[in-house]
Amino acid sequence: MAPIEIVHILIVWTPFLADGFLWNILISLVAMAIGTAFGAVLARLRLSRRKSLTRASLAVTELTRNIPTFVFLFYLAFLTPAEFEVSGQTYHFPAWLKAALALSVAVVGFVSDNLFVALRHWRNDNPLAALLFIPSWTMYLLIIVMASSTASVIGVSEIVSRCNVVIAAVGGEEMMIWVYAYAISYFFGFCFPLNWAMGRVKQHLLARVSAAPTGRPTN
Amino acid sequence: MSQAVGRYRLPLRAAFALALIAILSGREALANRLDLIQKRGTLIVGVKSDYPPFGMLDANGRLIGLEPDLAAELARRLGVQLQLVAVSSTNRLQKLQEGAIDVVIATLGDTPQRRQIATLIEPNYYASGAAVVAPPNAHLSTWADLRGKKVCATQGAYFNRSMAQRFLLDLQVFNGTRDTKLALRDGRCVAWLYDDTGIVGILNDPEWASYETPLPSMMVSPWAMAIAASERDSPLERAISDIIADWHRRGWLLEAERHWGIKPSRFLADTRELWSRTQPGGGRVCTRQADGEWPTECRNKLLLTSTEVGGLQHIGLLINERTGINLTILYDAYDRTLFLSGLWMTLQLMAACIVGSLALGCLGALVAENIPWLRGLVRLSIALGRMTPPLLLIYLVFFGVGHLVVTHYGWTFDGSMIAIFCLSLYTGCAIVSALLEACAVLKDQEPGFALGWRNLPSVLRLAYASVIAALVNVVKATGMASAIAVPELISASTAIVAEQGNAVVMMNVLMITYFLLVMVVVQLFNYLERRLQHGAD
């Protein structure tokens, strides 16, 4: 297959694949939103004065850390209905939402740990160190974007599923390597700039923290 | 992630909580599906997209084929619109169970096990059997020639298990026909165990013209349309059953078969004859009796005989009847072996991934710190490696690179090796980053610091939290190997569910097993850390 042909095929299928990648981002953002909400509650509870609450929160955090999201994905796919009826109204529970929910479990543990540290800094009048949570959160989003590709195994039409559709439609095994490599470039194109920028923000914040007179060492 | 707080430790209570959550998550079924279908004005039918000419995609990506035609006629007769959904052998009954589709018309063979999972509608509308596709010169003359050989199979086929047991095949079960085709093409197995009707479609493809079907079809099984298990004896079942009976009487199915250029099947001819036969006294033989059932002579005879049951299986089935908990992995030898070998494979994957990730991580850091002209390259590779989703990398290496290597050098790599390599690469990149970060810290402390074999342990100790986090993640991610048919825990569990329909039990068993495995690994690392700290004091 001539290179020009390969490029042509990739261009033809770009809107389809790009649309799939938007699903990856949507799934990741929803996972982050759900996970952050629950994780924040856990982090807040860990700062509670009541020992029982602190301990319970820590136990839940550890529980979420031990749940393998990939297995949980299958778990939700197999054991939750796609449609359910509440008082005559039919609601859908689409596969992409199941994927987001499975991924959010990992986010809960991350947010609980990191926000706990940030909140402590905040209370100790060290807001700059607390702000470090923002670059960490964004970098974790990138990890979740990476993991969102696993949604393909439960039939979500995201970029990896769509790669397989493209390969099936185009035929020819030579194309396979290029389609997958092209999909990888989407992840790289999205993650690299964000990762770089957040790395800079983090460095900047760390420098400010160590320079600030009231600042305490972060670790 | 260097700020990770707290040690990985799991109180027993939390483990119980997980078990409780697992047990409580149930499902709810909708009452009377026919009403629901009429209310929404659409019949949702699951058909195949990779099974020409029974169900396939046209140039515009629409689902077409014999089965979509049946679905369209069904919807027309029910007076509703039709919505087609592509399903696979693995997920068709699952989608039915969870209510995503109303009817499955997807080359589903009628078996007693499946009748436990779903309502299979009689009369059957088609039939097929098990056969193999083999490359030319495979030298197969009887089924016994395949004994002990690696044979590719597609997950969800009704005959996989029986054929494997009967002829002692070493089955390599793949997720879809595309993956199985590639595996056969790349020489990962000597033949592909598949449906004879499916093989017709494949051999029509010029690329496959040289392949052959050297063995006679076995285990001929009728196909049934399926609706949810809760819909047994419902108006929906009756409506569809009457429509299929009418198709047989009018010979409409034979016409549909001809329309798609399929060789006329003996089954359709026989069934048509039976269903249009009249009694001596007038009236048809096959009409509903007073109790609403079809007469015995018009039913699927294979399934009327009761299966022989005794011993441990009897006890297992008794538990199943009393409690609804179908622990086939306890009483069914085949499922038990499948599950245990899956567990063993997962353990091997976990161990290999930990070792591989650590090795690649340390090697990368050593190279980056000691060979100046490679430093930039290593850093770039790490950035790239960390930003490539591991699942995509597995596909790329297994199908893309694997195919190139096979065609050029004739080497095939085991799926588990590829999964270990890809997961280790991804995790190794994270470990290199952590180690380089630790090196930077040490360089700040002592300007003359240079990473070498000698001080590698102290760097590892400094980066311990991040390294462990990465290793725990790779342990959790080993399930991804199931995507390329590595027979590990997830593959084994989904295969059992596809056969037995005990999704609730198997998924909970899978979840709890994995959870415990992760917990053990975490405990092991904690123990190691205590030892390390002790050693450092």
pLDDT exceeds cutoff 60 at B82: yes
Instruction: Read off the pLDDT band of A215 (50, 70, 90).
Output: very low
Using CA coordinates, name the residue in chain A closest to B480.
A70
| A160 vs B: CB within 8 A | yes
**Distance of alpha carbon B508 from alpha carbon B21, whole angstroms:** 10
Report, as an integer, the average pLDDT of A136-165.
92
- Torsion, CA B176, CA A145, CA A110, CA A132, rounded to 10: 170
Which chain B residues have a beta carbon less than 8 Å from that of A148? 389
Judged by average pLDDT, the poorest of B27-31, B250-254, B268-272, B454-458 is: B27-31
Residues of A in contact with B505 (CB under 8 A): none
CB–CB contact B14 A80 (8 Å): no
Please give, rounded to a whole number of angstroms, the shortest distance from the CA of A5 to a CA of chain B. Answer: 18
pTM: 0.70
Contact B298, B286 (CB under 8 A): yes
Tokens in use for B521?
């690994």
pLDDT at A156 over 60: yes
Q: For A158-208, how does the pLDDT look when each residue is reduced to its tens digit (9 = 90+)?
A: 999 999 888 878 876 778 889 999 999 999 999 999 999 998 998 888 888
User: Are A173 and B403 a contacting pair at CB < 8 A?
Assistant: yes
ipTM: 0.90
A151 CA: distance to closest CA in chain B (Å):
10
Q: Is B118 helix (H, G, I), strand (E, B) or coil?
A: strand
Per-residue confidence (pLDDT) for residue B537, from 0 to 100: 52
Between CA B340 and CA B502 the distance in angstroms is 17
pLDDT reported for residue B18: 57
Contact between residue A109 and residue A64 where contact means Cβ atoms under 8 Å apart: yes
pLDDT confidence band for B15 (50 / 70 / 90): low
Tokens of B302: 């294979």
Per-residue confidence (pLDDT) for residue B12, from 0 to 100: 58
- CA gap B506, B342 in Å, rounded: 13
Among the partner residues A160, A180, A192, nearest to B387 by beta-carbon distance: A192
Report d(CA B92, CA B290) in Å as an integer: 33
Measured distance CA(A81)–CA(B29) in Å, rounded: 8
User: Is the CB of B389 less than 8 angstroms away from the CB of A164?
Assistant: no
Average pLDDT over chain B reads: 85
Residues of A (12-51) whose Cβ lies below 8 Å from B? none
What does the pLDDT look like over A20-49, one tens digit per residue?
Answer: 999 999 999 999 999 999 999 999 999 988
A96 to chain B, closest Cα gap in Å:
13
Residues of B in contact with A160 (CB under 8 A): 389, 391-392, 395
**Residue B228 in tokens:** 């949810």
Is B314 or B331 the better-scoring residue by pLDDT? B331
If you average pLDDT over each of A122-126, B140-144, B252-256, B292-296, which comes out highest? Answer: B252-256
Q: A168–B50: do the CB atoms touch at under 8 Å?
A: yes
Tell me if chain B has a CB within 8 Å of the CB of A116. Answer: yes
Q: What is the three-state SS of B17-48? A: HHHHHHHHCCCCCCCCHHHHHHHHCEEEEEEE
Which pLDDT does position B362 carry in this prediction? 94
Q: Residue B490 to residues A7, B315, B341: CA-CA distances in angstroms? A: 37, 26, 11
Is the pLDDT confidence value at B321 over 50? yes
- Asked whether the beta carbons of B450 and B383 are under 8 A apart, the reply is no
Q: Does the CB of A207 have a partner CB in chain B at under 8 Å?
A: no
* Min Cα separation A177/chain B (Å): 4
Are A21 and A158 a contacting pair, CB within 8 Å?
yes
Which pLDDT score, from 0 to 100, does residue B301 have?
Answer: 59
**Cross-chain CB nearest to A176 (options B28, B36, B399):** B399
Buried b (16+ CB within 10 A) or exposed e, A55-86: ebbbbbbbbbbbbbbbbbbbbbbbbbbbbbee
Pick B215 or B467 by higher pLDDT.
B467
Is the Cβ of A74 closer than 8 Å to some Cβ of chain B?
yes
The residues facing A84 across adjacent strands are A91
Residues in chain B: 537
| Closest residue to A219, CB basis, from B2, B94, B477 | B2
Q: B316 with B331: CB under 8 angstroms?
A: yes
CB–CB contact B28 A164 (8 Å): no
**pLDDT value at B416 more than 60:** yes
Q: Which of B130, B152, B126, B104 minimizes the C-alpha distance to B53?
A: B126
- How far apart are the CA of A82 and the nearest CA of chain B, in angstroms? 5
State the smallest CA–CA distance between residue A164 and chain B in angstroms.
9
User: Is the pLDDT assigned to residue B352 strictly greater than 90?
Assistant: yes
List pLDDT tens digits, range B248-306.
Answer: 999 999 999 999 887 777 788 888 988 998 888 888 888 888 888 888 778 875 554 33
pLDDT higher than threshold 70 for residue B388: yes
**Band of pLDDT at residue B317, cut at 50, 70 and 90:** low
Residue B323 pLDDT > 80, yes or no?
no
CA distance B255 to A208: 79
Q: How far is CA B261 from CA B68, B255, B257, B420, in A?
A: 15, 10, 7, 45
Render A80-132 in DSSP notation, one character per residue.
S-SEEEETTEEEE--HHHHHHHHHHHHHHHHHHHHHHHHHHHHHTT-HHHHHT
- Percent of chain A predicted with pLDDT > 70: 96
Sequence-ordered alpha helix ranges (H) in B57-142 = 66-78, 92-97, 112-117
Q: pLDDT at residue B496 above 50?
A: yes
CB A82 to CB B50 under 8 A?
A: no
Lowest mean pLDDT among A206-215, B148-157, B161-170, B356-365: A206-215
The shortest C-alpha distance from B296 to chain A (Å) reads 36
Residues of B in contact with A59 (CB under 8 A): 10-11, 13-14, 17
**Higher per-residue pLDDT: B330 or B247:** B247
Cis ω before A3 (30° cut-off from 0): no
Locate the chain B residue with the closest alpha carbon to A136.
Answer: B1
Contact yes or no for B98 and A169 at CB 8 A: no
Predicted local confidence at residue B26, as pLDDT = 39
Q: Could you tell me the pLDDT band of residue B200, with boundaries at 50, 70 and 90?
A: confident
Q: How far is CA B112 from CA B51, B123, B306, in A?
A: 24, 15, 9
Question: Chain B residues with CB inside 8 Å of A147's CB?
Answer: 389
Contact criterion met (CB < 8 Å) for A68 and B10: no
Residues of chain B numbered 232-251 and touching chain A (CB < 8 Å): none
